[in-house]
Amino acid sequence: MDYSDKPYERLPVCGQDAFKRNWSLITTQLRKADINHFALRNNRLYKIGILLQNQGQLRSVLNILALHTGVVVEYQLHQTWHTYIPFISPDSYFGRTPRYRVYYKFRRLGITLYGPEVACIVELWRQCDDHIECNYGNSIASRLPSTDSWSICPVDSITKQSTLLAEKIPSLEIDFPIDVVYTWVDGMDPEWRKNRDFFQNKESSEAPRHPSSIHEARCRNREELRYSLRSLCMYGDFFRRVYIVTSDQTPDWLNTDNPHIKLVSDRQILRDGGALPTFNSHAIESRLQRIEGLAEHFLYLNDDFFLARRMCPERFFAPHGQASIFSSPHNIPTKIADIIDRPIDTANQNSQALIENRFGRYPTHKPQHAPYALRQSVLLEMENIYHAEFKAVASSRFRSQNDIAVATSLFAYHSLCTGAAIPSSYRSRYIDINDPLFPLLISPFSELMRSKYDSFCLNEVDNGRMPSSIRDRIVPWFLAWRFPVPSPFELN
């Protein structure tokens, strides 16, 4: 079945939906062929086990599936996946039986939205005297007692008969809830702009301010949030609830009746000592831990962050709860007197000084500009320890030279020093949409479009080198092309 030119509703909304279609594809054929099979956990999805004595029947099923348009069948030998060729591909290699994977290649306008990462894997198990065993390791075990309920049970969904295999939770798999928090503002809202201009003129003479702290690029809205949520549903569908912190604004496309999304006014979290209205994202970030109902573990995203391939929660948190910190190759710039650095740099420098004063460690690198794994209890602890600094940044209406980067560098290095976080690796791509090479960086032949990165950020720096008219056309077009499937959070 070819989904390449089907309407949007035929494309899966999330990775779980894509996997369920792949699961149904293979299990339907197995039932038709009367092949007994069972389910095992496989990295938060499931795989199928079949006894080796049924390999001939299985290959007949694979021959049929491999001839379907839009269906990919592959076999694995020595950690490498090869295209399965009907009636030709080997059924063993030096006595080792292969395993197989079957999946639809869900495509839209030249982009593969889902592929082998949500494939249904089929493994062959050898029947021994009192047990069954598999050549390949998996999430549960490679040898199991031989019982009828495991080796004979036909499974088209995860049933009670396969509970022992399918529902055991591996020790390295996360089972605690994870929320997602966005900060968002509609900089084109006339009322918001009126308030910003009023307070900007009122406070303009109070202290020297870097031009980037009030630049239009900081609040321009091209509906990035809509597409960021689409990417979250497509590739990060493990979250419990999404919170969007706004300045009493609601996107006109947002389905606020969805129980898994909640709008939070910045007035709710800044009402105790914060400057209202605020135009300072650092101030808002210093109070994220005060969001009512927020899970202990959560991801913090800017609206210009986009997931680019399937993510599991273990990418962001360790099984025992530690947050993962993704270090950037870029150093925190050294603070030099009489130089007014960008607010983002001074916030990192101020956080650097706090960590050095408390722990005697000198933070050297910025965290990656990518989804931040945070813990509510650690942020509350930090608010108590650095009380004066938290209070100062919350009361700063615009970005200033005294800000601290609570959700980024301060949390990262405080958590690393206290054992609440661990360093980890992550592949993100930062793209400046003012870069003249921007169109090349998002072309179909770029590394970004070949799933080389976990996520990417489309940021806009202060000094435009590309005409805004071109920029404002390319960005919405690219995002609609890359994330074409509406999320459950959108109206209509």
**Residue 163: count of CB within 10 angstroms of its CB:** 12
Task: Label each residue of 327-360 as H, E or C.
Answer: EEEEECCCCCCCCCCCHHHHHHHHHHHHHHHHHC
Q: Could you tell me which residues are beta bridge partners of residue 48?
A: 39, 122
Residue 31 corresponds to which tokens in the numbers above? 């039932």
Q: Are 118 and 15 in contact (CB under 8 A)?
A: yes
Of 372, 387, 382, 229, nearest to 297 by C-alpha is 372
Q: Is the peptide bond before 277 cis (omega within 30 degrees of 0)?
A: yes
How much is the pLDDT for 154? 40
Please name the residue ranges forming H helices in 101-223: 148-151, 163-166, 190-203
Count CA atoms closer than 13 A to 447's CA, side-chain side. 10
Of 38, 146, 135, nearest to 94 by C-alpha is 135
Position 66, amino acid: A
Low-confidence ranges of the chain (pLDDT < 70): 1-10, 92-95, 147-168, 204-219, 337-338, 462-464
- Quote the CA–CA distance of 54 and 364 in Å, as a whole number: 58
How much is the pLDDT for 271? 85
Position 351, amino acid: S
User: Is the pTM higher than 0.85?
Assistant: yes
Position 343, amino acid: P
Collapsed DSSP state (helix, strand, coil) of residue 289? helix
Q: Which ranges in the chain are annotated with CATH 3.90.550.10?
A: 178-482
- Quote the CA–CA distance of 44 and 175 in Å, as a whole number: 10
Q: Which residues contact 430 (CB under 8 A, 6 or more apart)?
A: 369, 456, 457, 459
Q: Which CATH number fits domain 178-482: 1.20.1630.10, 3.50.50.60, 3.40.50.720, 3.90.550.10?
A: 3.90.550.10
